Structure 1
Amino acid sequence: MSSLIILPSRTDAFSAYQPSKNAHLDFISAVDLGRGGSSGSGSSKDGVKTVKLNISVKKSPPPPNELLRSLLSSIPAILSGTSTKESYHTLSHTCHKLVLQPHTLGPTIYGRVKEELERYASGLVREWRGSILSKQDGWLGRLVEGWNQWEKRINLLSAIFVYLDRVYSNPINGIASIKELSISTFRKVVWENEIILEKTRSDVLAWSTKERELESSIEDTRPTIKHITSISKILETFVESISNPYVELTNEYYSTSAQEKVNLVQHSDNELTAGKYVEWVLDKVIQEKARAESCLDENVAEQVVKVVRKEAGENVAEQVVRRALDESMDSQDQGSLSRLYTFSTDVNSFPILVKSLEDHLEAKLKALISDPANDPQMIDGTLKVKRFTDKAISSLFEPSQDDVIMQDKDDDVEKDKKDGKTLLEAKRIRRNRQFELEEAARTGFKKGMGSRQNAPAEWIAKHLDLAMRRGPSLSDSEFNSHLDEIIALIGFTKDKDVFKAFYSTQLAKRLLLGRSASDDMERNMIAKLQKEMGEEFTSGDIMMKDLQLSETLVKSYQSAQAREPEQYKDAGNFTANVLTESAWPAYPLLKDGWNFQLPSNLQSSIDLFTSWYTTQHKNRQLSWRFQLSTVTLTARFANSSRYEIGVSLFQAVVLLLFNEEDTLDFSEIKKRTGIETQELVRTLQSLALGRKNTRVLLKKPPGKEVNPTDIFAWNKGFTSDRIKFKINGIQQDMSAEESRKTNEQIHIDRVSILEATIVRIMKGKKKLSLQMLIDNVISDVVKRFPPDVKEIKKRVESLIEREFLMRDEEERGVLHYLA
């Protein structure tokens, strides 16, 4: 079967197509093919129909030169945004045809593109220079708008001349593409124009300065700044044209403003405190980082943060940190201290903070301790400072959610990056910082409490005595924490032997006079002291055991009284504490100035107990310490009132005299009792001049002082709201005289310790230089008290005189031990 339609191999059927007036839309219109031909129909003999097509002969294509002129003439129109004669499709096809063989007109076309780009860029420069020189507002906005238009037209040009980039201007040939050429042309002709670049840079910097002055963001300008940043990055000039000037301006701004503010901080009458300055710097870091990240980039943000921390932080840290720390510690503002810690770590000034904390605590405690008038409040004030310091340091290093690691995760998880460091490294740095601050606090407390000899240790013991008398006011756990705080203070003192002497004396009084709130608490405290301070505090255990044994002893004595009531009829209700003399404070016998005489009924009680005790312990001898004794008296007054009064033995002896006489003068009382003068004065003061509801004696003439001519009378009209009460004497509180004597005994004990240490060391070494001996002695006794080198040398001289040591005949600085 034959073909119905035979088509020619070549045709110009579509030659009637003409580009539309709007060439850039390039719509293809339908062509009336019937206009150029005719058709007819008929039938053949065999009945087959035939169709005849009259197709015009194809025209010859335009010559290459004509195509090139058409293509090149379209470039200015594309760059100017006007319509082209040919459609974009035709232009693209023409470009494709010309850049391929045999024409290979790529260099010619590329050269014209380059020329037209430069001409177009030069036109922009002339226009923009004029607007800048005429000082028209809104320059950055016009620059952004012009760039957007440039970019849009370049994109169109690149799309039409796409085959130029594919065949000629490509990386293989080492020739820049049209887009790359446009960028370099814009950078060279427009951006690097001195007037345009300077205006752009100055307007960007002016924006940043204005935001800093307003301390807020200018929201309608920021999008424009972001576009300028984007343009400069595309042109690859961001660093030198925008970033570096921006960072330099930031540096200049903060170096000036920071110094101005620091000068204000240093004037105490100014409202700007160091704490507020620290807060200002931290706020500025946040603001600068947010501004740079929003409008520039993260690298610039990092740079400006470093600048702020350097100029406003590190460079002035010496002038700010100590002041800010003093303010925070004095006001006990934990939030302010936390900000200061953040500031110091951010600006590489953490060592300054550590040293400032140490110096502040040293100065604070020196001021608190150096004035004797503050002695009663010394320990309370010191504990208040310590509590805040410990709490503040601890709060700085409380773990955040970022630091929490699930226990069931692999070790690899712990190595995730955190602020440029691994999590483990960050934790190590935090631990080291916490240790440094805690060590600085300890050092500051040690230096401050060591600024005054003996007194802090003495008052720590007194504070502990008061606490043990009162017992826990809230809970046992809080009371134990308070005891731990006191032990920590003991660790800060150098005079640990002073504390031990006063503590032992006061512990003895609490135990003997029943003033302790709880024996269990006393045992707990003794255990704490032994753990922290060593076995020197074993005497406390012995004291507690002595009292337990004394209770057993008294029960045995009372059993003997019950078995033989006739023999012990004059014993009375008598109890005694039998103490191991070496474990208790050295209570002296009543010697100089004393001729003490007990009333017969009291003396008989003592004699009977002594006699019984001798039969129980034949190899032991009792030595009575009357200054520690107490008596409970039953007193009756004229109004028939009856009271039970707890008094000291000396008070009881005085009061019993008034069973026989209504009035007695001072000299008569002294003669009958044999009490030493000063002790008798204190005793009479407590009975006649104490609290109003305890004045069982009257003094004539009235007055606070007791004189040898004063007369004392039984207060027949005495009344009290309490049937049972105590008249406090010198046993209840350590007097200044007793404190003085304790300190004197401490000095004597130190001399003995030094001599014993010197002899022990020399006995082991046999021969030693004086300097080596001093060093060994210091290292041996420093845990008890701070040794004085001069005192050590005196002890050496004394031992030489007593022939324990001798000097070497040839080397005077060498000592020998004499066996």
Structure 2
Amino acid sequence: MFRNSNQARGKGKAKAKGKGKSQFKSSTKRKQGHYTSNQEKFFSFLNMTDNSVDRTRRANFSNVPANGINRNLNILNIKPTTAKKIVIKNLKSEPKLPEDYREQTWDKLKSAVLAIQKSMPNQYSLEELYQAVENMCNHKMAQTLYSRLHSLTESHVSRNIEQFLAESMDRFLFLKKMNETWLAHCNQMIMIRSIFLYLDRTYVLQNPNISSIWDMGLELFSKYILLNTLVQTRVVEGLLMLIEKERQGDNVDRTLLKSLLRMLTDLQIYEQAFEQKFLQSTERLYAAEGQRLMQELEVPDYLAHVDKRIHEENERVLHYLDTGTKYQLIHTVEKQLLSEHVTNLLQKGLNGLLEEKRIPDLTLLYQLFNRVKNGLAELCLSFNAFIKKRGRTIVIDPEKDKTMVQELLDFKDAMDNIVISCFNRNEKFGNSLKEAFEHFVNQRTNKPAELIAKFVDLKLRKGNKETTEEELERLLDKIMVLFRFIHGKDVFEAFYKKDLAKRLLVGKSASVDAEKSMLSKLKQECGGGFTSKLEGMFKDMELSKDINVAFKQHLNTQHTRSLSPIDMTVNILTMGYWPTYVPMDVTLPDNMVKFHDIFKEFYLSKHSGRKLQWQPTLGHCVLKARFKTAPKELAVSLFQTLVILLFNKYDEVSYEYIKEATNIEDSELRRTLQSLACGKARVLNKIPKGREIEDNDKFRFNNEFSHNLFRIKINQIQMKETTEEQKATEERVFQDRQYQIDAAIVRVMKMRKTLSHNLLISELYLQLKFPVKPADLKKRIESLIDRDYMERDKDNPNQYNYVA
């Protein structure tokens, strides 16, 4: 094909020489007309498709020169055939455009732009206008075209400023007029750009220092409208006025706000012209509002107002403010309404919210304080202070001793619930809660430990039917939480041990499983050494059961005929495991003495070398009594039994006689008679009547006694703790502590040999597990010096030496 073209070109030249120039020109015009026709078809296609036209095809046609000849045959889809051959000849001169082509084309484009700016009908089609722009660009008139378009747009925008300079114009009307002008300008620039799109995509792209047609429109609008100081000020003040009205509760046109703020953003003056003033006005508004509402509103109402304000400001960002403003805006609201009033809010309302357990308000308080710096730290400190203050009122007041433990459990549950529900299970708040409880529980030395032990005793007694096994287990877990806060755990151990002994010996334990569960919890918390004696008590009870089975078999084989029908059960207690009981000799009936002697002989025959010591204070009996109304069974203590048995012989006996016949200690006898004659179940009548037992009182068996139950429990007095017992327990704890302090001092001195007083005290504080005062330690040191366990240094009296 290439060779044929050359041959055709050679033949064409030969013919031209023979026929002259006129033939060549005619051929050239015909070919020129052919190519021009195809180029016009392409422009028509481009106008109809606008942006959807294929860029590759446009690029290929962009190489078409001014004379309309394109030498790329493939673009025109012209294929050589054997019948015809195409001959291409060079022109000696290119055709010229009409002299008035530039002006005529610009007049056409100018009229179209003016029509758009004046919102009037356009007499030319967009296709024709687009074609005109492309033709001018292709004929190297792009720079002139851009310059004239710039001048025309600038002239139109500059005329618009006059309508905004009238001072009498209402602010809202001013904003609406500005918005209308802005929207009209945007629409105009969109339409103008669609006409001059070819200019925008060729000349503008090839010159980076020239703004696009859209940017040119924005720059001119900014220059003549908003960069005018008066106009810009009135726009910003109008916007601030609308936002302030909305903050006051009025309905405003959010669409207008959004459009104008978008205008400021598009013109790139949002931050400079509006944002700073907006944030300043916001700060002034909320600073004044915070001061005023702190005086007028209660804390829950104030918190609800702050939450509402933050929500409103977030809505403003969502609807019309620039997203970049959000952080500074919300920070300003939080600072003025929260940060500045953290201390006052906590002092004014936190205690009330915690006292009343206002879960929703406390949740909101936590969420809001979490938004400000150091808010949660301040809240945690105030929370801690409240717990210490409230807890101290529970612990210190002796009048609340009966309800102290239950109040502490309820208080702990309430505070735990607040930490979980309101404070998002925040670990710092949980630790602060524990520290506060540990602080105030130990404000009253020893008493909380004693009362917790007694509370456990109350819940583990057989008569406690208020709770199920599952509820009792949960309650024991809660009690163990309180137990962990106690420093003097040895006090708890002493009272728990004494009460456990009574429950086991008198048969008042609610459940062996519950007892062992509590023992397991104590062992897990304090170790095996803490519970070793308690475990020994349970072992003694189990061994005693086996011994009693063997003893009854022994009685059946040897002593059945000679003994009265008494069913006797004996508990063998290892002295080291059980509390120390004061020995007491009482006068027992002869048939009881016989049983004692038989059991003693039986036991010692099995376990030689051991010594048995009877403890009558722990004995209890079941008596069959015949009253006038009906026979009854009386569950009573051994002391009560001895008193009642006297009335088998006498109808009336005096106090002095009872004391002499039973040999019961005076204070114990008075308690016993009081329970029989002055309690709810009065099997004896006291003469004269009264609550107190006097030396000259007399007692008569109450034959008229009646009761709904067949078995009546009167031995509750055995479970009650006397003042003497309490003091004795406390004294035992004190003595045990003295021994532990002495052992600790000797242990430290034996290891260190020589030690100063201050260092010795510090070491003792680390080793001792119970609270102790420096004065008490000093007394024990002096005692050990007197007993020659240690001595003072002769050269330095403040230093001690160990004596080997």
Task: Please give the range of the TM-score, normalised by the shorter of the 2 chains.
Answer: 0.7 to 0.9
Contact 1:571 1:609 in 2 (8 A): no
Query: In 2, Cα distance between the equivalents of 1:246 and 1:559?
Result: 100
Using the TM superposition, give the Cα deviation of residue 344 of structure 1 relative to its aligned residue in structure 2, in angstroms.
2.8
Deviation sequence 1:464-513 (CA, Å, 0-9, x none): 11111156755433322211111111001111111111100100000000
Greater shift in the superposed pair: 726-735 or 89-98: 89-98
Query: In 1, Cα distance between the equivalents of 2:124 and 2:682?
Result: 127
Counterpart AA for 2:757: L
Aligned to 1:366: 392
Contact 1:688 1:699 in 2 (8 A): yes
Counterpart AA for 1:192: L
Aligned to 2:735: 748
Deviation sequence 1:369-422 (CA, Å, 0-9, x none): 11111111111111112223334434468xxxxxxxxxxxxxxxxxxxxxxxxx
Aligned to 2:678: 689
Q: Which runs of 5+ in 2 are unaligned?
A: 1-25, 38-47, 49-94
Contact 1:88 1:160 in 2 (8 A): yes
1:129 maps to 2:171: no
Query: In 2, Cα distance between the equivalents of 1:472 and 1:304?
Result: 61
Counterpart AA for 1:654: V
What is the TM-score with the length of structure 1 in the denominator? Answer: 0.81
Counterpart AA for 1:175: I
Aligned to 1:530: 523
Counterpart AA for 2:492: F
Aligned to 1:484: 477
Contact 2:142 2:199 in 1 (8 A): no
SS in structure 1 opposite 2:720? coil
* Paired positions, count: 718
Query: In 2, Cα distance between the equivalents of 1:602 and 1:498?
Result: 37
Alignment of 1:255-266 (within 5 A): 255-264=287-296
Contact 1:357 1:444 in 2 (8 A): no
Counterpart AA for 2:659: K
Counterpart AA for 2:663: G
Deviation sequence 1:257-280 (CA, Å, 0-9, x none): 22333334xxxxxxx432343333
Aligned match for 1:309, one of 306, 311, 334: 334
Using the TM superposition, give the Cα deviation of residue 92 of structure 1 relative to its aligned residue in structure 2, in angstroms.
5.4
Aligned to 1:716: 703
Aligned to 1:318: 343
Aligned match for 2:457, one of 461, 465, 478: 465
SS in structure 1 opposite 2:248? helix
Using the TM superposition, give the Cα deviation of residue 551 of structure 1 relative to its aligned residue in structure 2, in angstroms.
1.3
Query: In 1, Cα distance between the equivalents of 2:691 and 2:118?
Result: 113
SS in structure 2 opposite 1:730? helix
Change (3 A) 1:285 1:173: closer
Contact 1:683 1:729 in 2 (8 A): no
Deviation sequence 1:534-572 (CA, Å, 0-9, x none): 221111111011011111112222222111116862583
Change (3 A) 1:159 1:575: closer
Alignment of 1:203-602 (within 5 A): 203-214=238-249, 218=251, 221-264=253-296, 272-321=297-346, 325-348=350-373, 349-395=375-421, 434-470=426-462, 473-535=466-528, 536-565=530-559, 569=563, 572-590=566-584, 596-602=586-592
1:80 maps to 2:65: no
1:149 maps to 2:217: no
Query: In 2, Cα distance between the equivalents of 1:437 and 1:228?
Result: 47
Query: In 2, Cα distance between the equivalents of 1:334 and 1:85?
Result: 73
Aligned to 1:771: 758
Identity over the aligned pairs, expressed in percent?
29
Aligned to 2:86: none
Using the TM superposition, give the Cα deviation of residue 162 of structure 1 relative to its aligned residue in structure 2, in angstroms.
4.2
SS in structure 2 opposite 1:282? helix
Aligned to 2:686: 699
Greater shift in the superposed pair: 748-757 or 352-361: 352-361
Aligned match for 2:792, one of 793, 807, 810: 807
Counterpart AA for 1:353: L
SS in structure 1 opposite 2:361? helix
Change (3 A) 1:567 1:579: farther
Counterpart AA for 2:617: Q
Query: In 1, Cα distance between the equivalents of 2:202 and 2:635?
Result: 119
The structure carrying a bigger helix percent of its residues is 2
Aligned match for 2:599, one of 606, 609, 612: 609
Using the TM superposition, give the Cα deviation of residue 129 of structure 1 relative to its aligned residue in structure 2, in angstroms.
2.2
Query: In 1, Cα distance between the equivalents of 2:517 and 2:147?
Result: 98
Change (3 A) 1:566 1:176: closer
Q: Which runs of 5+ in 1 are unaligned?
A: 15-24, 26-57, 265-271, 398-429
Aligned match for 1:796, one of 781, 786, 796: 781
Deviation sequence 1:565-618 (CA, Å, 0-9, x none): 16862583222111011111111223xxxx743333333332332233232222
Counterpart AA for 1:201: V
Change (3 A) 1:59 1:395: closer
Query: In 2, Cα distance between the equivalents of 1:230 and 1:60?
Result: 46
Aligned to 1:670: 659
Aligned match for 1:185, one of 189, 195, 220: 220
Using the TM superposition, give the Cα deviation of residue 803 of structure 1 relative to its aligned residue in structure 2, in angstroms.
0.9
Counterpart AA for 1:768: L
Deviation sequence 1:180-208 (CA, Å, 0-9, x none): 22211111211122232222222222222
Using the TM superposition, give the Cα deviation of residue 295 of structure 1 relative to its aligned residue in structure 2, in angstroms.
1.4
Contact 1:261 1:277 in 2 (8 A): yes
SS in structure 2 opposite 1:632? strand
Using the TM superposition, give the Cα deviation of residue 449 of structure 1 relative to its aligned residue in structure 2, in angstroms.
0.9
Change (3 A) 1:612 1:570: farther
Change (3 A) 1:8 1:705: same
1:106 maps to 2:146: no
Contact 1:184 1:235 in 2 (8 A): yes
1:760 maps to 2:747: yes
CA-based RMSD of the aligned residues comes to: 3.2
Query: In 2, Cα distance between the equivalents of 1:456 and 1:444?
Result: 15
Aligned to 1:52: none
